[in-house]
């Protein structure tokens, strides 16, 4: 996946680090990489898509 994966990894690591889920940026990058590699990130995105589609008709 190359550059696209790297960009997603950097963005996810920044969020993890800024909200205190990791002690430093390198640790955050490792956590983000693990979430991507094991499929947890894709699973979470799928749940977000499903929830968004379910509630799209309500205000």
CA distances from 3 to 7, 8, 41 (A): 6, 9, 17
- Domain segments of the chain as ranges: 3-54
- The pLDDT score that the predictor gives to residue 54 is 85
Categorise residue 30: left if φ over 0, alpha if ψ from -120 to 50, beta otherwise.
Answer: alpha
State the pTM of this model.
0.78
Place of tokens 């499929």: 39
pLDDT at 59: 56
**pLDDT (tens digit, 9 = 90+) per residue, 17-36?**
999 999 999 999 999 999 99
- How do residues 41-57 score in pLDDT, each as one tens digit? 999 999 999 999 887 66
Model confidence at 16: pLDDT above 70: yes
């Amino acid at each position: 996946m190359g550059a696209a994966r790297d960009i997603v990894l950097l963005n996810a690591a920044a969020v993890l680090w800024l909200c205190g889920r990791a002690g430093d940026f390198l640790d955050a990058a490792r956590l983000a990489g693990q979430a991507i590699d094991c499929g947890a990130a894709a699973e979470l995105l799928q749940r977000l898509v499903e929830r968004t589609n379910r509630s799209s008709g309500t205000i």
